[in-house]
Structure 1
């Protein structure tokens, strides 16, 4: 099988997963699609060097995270003005605070959002996140702490009562 066919097979198999990852990073489907397209262009250019590696998806995901951060550095902050699509399934927050949580996530600075996505969606540790984003482990921890503080302030925890205890 030639390199073009292997690349096409990779895109067909992992394209949807990359799009979901892009959505978690960017917070909207349009920017997610842009991240995937740009990452796949870069991956295609590097494909001859990567074909011997077992996981080209990690290259694509790292590229997407770095592109996302680069965009953040250019724009600094952006205000997202879109409604979330109806999702088939996702966990509900207590007290109907789901919309506030998504709004709080959308309001986070790009670097903080990227750190949270890599930590909780990709389940990477601090060293791996630092390598992906090109920052120090201390910066990863401080960005995560600041992001979680902002989320806690935006969506306060519901006090435990007999009715909501698990």
Structure 2
């Protein structure tokens, strides 16, 4: 095989293995499966262009997450994209979490302002450190901490309301 064919095969293998995970990240960022698919498509196209460089570093997931976050920010800034998210579509349940709890959790997550939602997803769902989340979002570590704290408190309040 040629070098180009090897790179393309490695790219296809990566996308095949990680596409579902990356799609769920995109959904958590934007709250809509159609938008998540668009975000993922944008990210995969940009990844393909940068693949020779990114594959050498071994940080493909971090690169794609950063693209997803930034593409979502770009989309939210476009005036024709400013719309209120409707009800959440049904999604595949993660192992061990009842669908009722998952639905309530995603509704609470989607009720957060965009930056709080992004920091909560990056910190608590993906397990990134404060420093890593700050780099991905292009904000200071203190801002990550404050958005995360406010987001968690808002989610606790929303979940407490549901329990009543």
- Which bracket does the TM-score occupy, shorter chain normalised? 0.7 to 0.9
Hey, which of these two has a bigger chunk of helix by percent? 2
Mark the structure with the bigger radius of gyration: 1
TM-score by length of 2: 0.81
Runs (5+) with no aligned partner, structure 1: 160-166
Is the Cα contact below 8 Å between 1:72 and 1:111 reproduced in 2?
no
Aligned to 1:154: 158
- How many residues in Structure 1 have an aligned counterpart in Structure 2? 157
Cα–Cα, structure 1 residues 146 and 55, in superposed 2: closer, same or farther, change >3 Å?
same
Cα–Cα, structure 1 residues 77 and 107, in superposed 2: closer, same or farther, change >3 Å?
farther
1:91 to 97, 102, 106: 97
Aligned to 1:2: 6
Q: CA deviation at 1:65?
A: 1.5
Runs (5+) with no aligned partner, structure 2: none
After superposition, give the CA deviation of every residue in 1:79-114 in whole Å (9 maximum; x if it has no partner): 211343154455359xx7765543332121211111
What is the alpha-carbon distance in structure 1 between the residues aligned to residue 74 and residue 155 of structure 2? 23
1:112 to 111, 116, 132: 116
Is the Cα contact below 8 Å between 1:97 and 1:155 reproduced in 2?
no
Q: CA deviation at 1:74?
A: 3.6
TM-score by length of 1: 0.80
2:74 to 59, 64, 70: 70
